[in-house]
Amino acid sequence: MNAIRRFFSEAFLSQKGRSAAFAAEEFVLFEIAYPLVTMIFYCLLASFSFGTVRLERWVIGNSFLLCTNACVFGTGRVFAMERYNGRLRSIIASPCNKLAVLLSNGVFPMLFALCAAVLGMLVGSVIFHADFSGVNLVLVAVAAVCAMISATGFGLLLASVCLISDSMHLILNIAAFLLMIFTGTEFPVERLSFAGQVFAWMMPLTKSVRATHLLLDGDSASYVPLVCAELLTALALVLLSFLILRFAETAARKNGRFDLF
Amino acid sequence: MLRLMTETAKLQMKQSFARPMFRFCLIANPFLNTILLYEMFLGAGEEDFFSYVVLGAGLMGLWSCICFSSAGDINRERYMGTLALVFAAPSSFQAVIYGKIIGNTLLSLFSFVVSLLTAALLFRVPVTVHAPGFFAVAFLAAVVSFIAISSVIACLLTLSRKTELYMNLLELPLALLCGFVFPVEMLPKPLQLCSALLSPTHAARLLRMSVTASPDRALFLRELAVLCVLTLLYLSGAVLLYKRIDKRVRIRATLDVA
């Protein structure tokens, strides 16, 4: 019980640390307004490039992509910020469970990402008159939760990678673009080359986005396997991030360069 | 003054290129944006890739570089502890800032080259500028207009310590309002009014016009005139803002802490 309380306390404190520098209106601007503008931008682009007014696919897809802000740029900077604030050495040297530290940092970004996705769908359906009647919204919500868990796993992986690199902004921004290109939110994955498609299916969000697209088409047969595959992707990403963290930790203990990279 | 600006521009180019985020904006952003835009426009059977894919990705890359460099340079000087020194030095602070902006903007033009090469080599997009004269004029006017808008933003951000937040918030909304990758006519009327007041909107229109088969000369000149007027207004605004900021920071002595 004490461990659970400490886990959520750590999650709350890390979120407080991330947002402490911002006033409430700036926080809203950055966490809500900016992601919504991003979604509107890509929906308008899709409307123009695909010459369509039926934007349900892009409203849902881009709502899922709103997690980028919280999961990639929020979670992805976790360890880089710990290093910047001088706390990384203490975390590594302490006997605490590193996986718990890693996961606790993902709790609030995941919740924010989920809120952003729901808000994105609501705002998108109002602005672009997206019609979701006939779509099982409970299944869409389940797919969204799985997508956010998976995206948070991706963020944690990026956070671990940032431990062994000094090009944090470069890595995080490229990751955000990869999500746009390889998850089928902006254009069908089938348009990519074979290698591109293989990579796309290894990425987070791809399966959830496909599942919701199928729901829009009235096909729910492949829904469960796709959502399960998304959860497996999340698990794989968290495990991979933990392995990278262990590798970075061992390397840092040997070289004594943890505060450098 | 000219020598100061030239040397600052040269130094700024070296400093900017040394930063990974700038390299992302300059190289990776236009490269990835070109891929994304090409795949999206391919879906609609769009033939004119040059107008929206190459120019669109190039303009977005240029704007990203401006947002994450020109707009943030003052904050960077503050972070390094050199802002007050640069400000109080006998050389004109404004000339230093313009030198930085010019250096950044010139280097940022490379994003157009990256976008062009990506489209031409990766997707075999035909690169044809039907009216090179019009294009040269449009390009030059666009560069000056971007320098002008950067100077206004740089001045405004001198007063804030939250530059990083505003840099992020500026990037995509302006690309949306200025119609870098889709026509502004798709926006609601009130937003179109805002777009008309932003010089990059007219710069994007001019560039797009100049790569079409037969640009309308009268329309081109009208857009150019609007762009020139807006650019002059921005430059005047930047000068006025600078004077007010100069006075304010000297009275309050808060330059290093905003």
pLDDT per residue of chain A (261 residues) written in tens, 0 to 9: 777 888 888 888 887 877 776 677 777 777 778 888 888 999 999 998 888 888 888 998 888 888 776 777 777 777 777 777 777 778 777 777 777 777 787 788 778 878 888 888 888 888 888 888 888 889 998 998 898 889 888 988 888 887 777 777 788 888 988 999 999 988 889 888 899 999 999 999 999 999 999 998 888 888 999 999 999 999 999 899 888 888 877 877 777 766 555
With a cut of 70, list the residues of chain B below it in pLDDT.
43-47, 71, 159-164, 254-258
Q: What is the pLDDT of residue B256?
A: 66
Query: Contacts of residue B40 in chain A, CB cutoff 8 Å?
Result: 45-46, 49-50, 186-187
Residue B201 Cα, gap to closest chain A Cα (Å): 15
Query: Which residue from B20, B35, B165 is facing A170, i.e. has the nearest CB?
Result: B20
Contact A49 B46 (CB under 8 A): yes
Q: Closest Cα partner for A150 from A209, A99, A198, A219?
A: A209
Query: Contacts of residue B178 in chain A, CB cutoff 8 Å?
Result: none
Rounded CA-CA distance B228/B220 in Å is: 12
φ, ψ of residue B126 in degrees (nearest 5): -65, 130
Residue B217 Cα, gap to closest chain A Cα (Å): 26
Q: What is the pLDDT of residue A129?
A: 87
Q: Closest Cα partner for A170 from A252, A72, A247?
A: A72
B143 burial via Cβ count (<10 Å: 0-12, 13-18, 19+):
middle
Nearest residue in chain A measured CA to CA from B56:
A45
Q: How many helices (H) and strands (E) does chain A have?
A: 13, 0
Interface residue of B40, B59, B122, B208 to substitute, partner A, most A CBs within 10 Å: B40
Q: What is the pLDDT of residue B113?
A: 92
Contact B32 A177 (CB under 8 A): yes
Q: What is the pLDDT of residue A156?
A: 85
Residue B1 Cα, gap to closest chain A Cα (Å): 35
Q: By the 8 A CB rule, do B197 and B230 touch?
A: yes
Touching check for A261 and chain B: CB below 8 Å?
Answer: no
- Beta-carbon count within 10 A of A5 CB: 9
Rounded CA-CA distance A12/A106 in Å is: 10
Rounded CA-CA distance A233/A248 in Å is: 22
φ, ψ of residue A52 in degrees (nearest 5): -135, 155
Contact B43 A169 (CB under 8 A): no
Nearest residue in chain A measured CA to CA from B48:
A49
**Segments making up each domain of chain A, as ranges:** 2-16+23-255
Nearest residue in chain B measured CA to CA from A187:
B40
Q: What number is the ipTM of this complex?
A: 0.86
The token pair at B187 is 């926006």
Contact A37 B173 (CB under 8 A): yes
The token pair at A187 is 């254009």
The token pair at B233 is 């207004």
H-helix or E-strand spanning residue A201 = helix A194-202
Collect all residues from B whose CB is shorter than 8 A from any CB in A.
Answer: 20-21, 23-24, 28-29, 32-33, 35-37, 39-44, 46, 52, 162, 165, 168-169, 172-173, 175-176, 181-183, 186-187
Rounded CA-CA distance B204/B48 in Å is: 15
The token pair at A95 is 């006997």
**DSSP 8-state class, residue B138:** H
CA-to-CA dists, residue A133 to A56, A214, A216, A217, B173, angstroms? 11, 14, 9, 12, 30
Touching check for A162 and chain B: CB below 8 Å?
Answer: no
User: What distance lies between CA B176 and its chain's CA centroid?
Assistant: 14
Query: Which residue from A40, A170, A187 is facing B40, i.e. has the nearest CB?
Result: A187
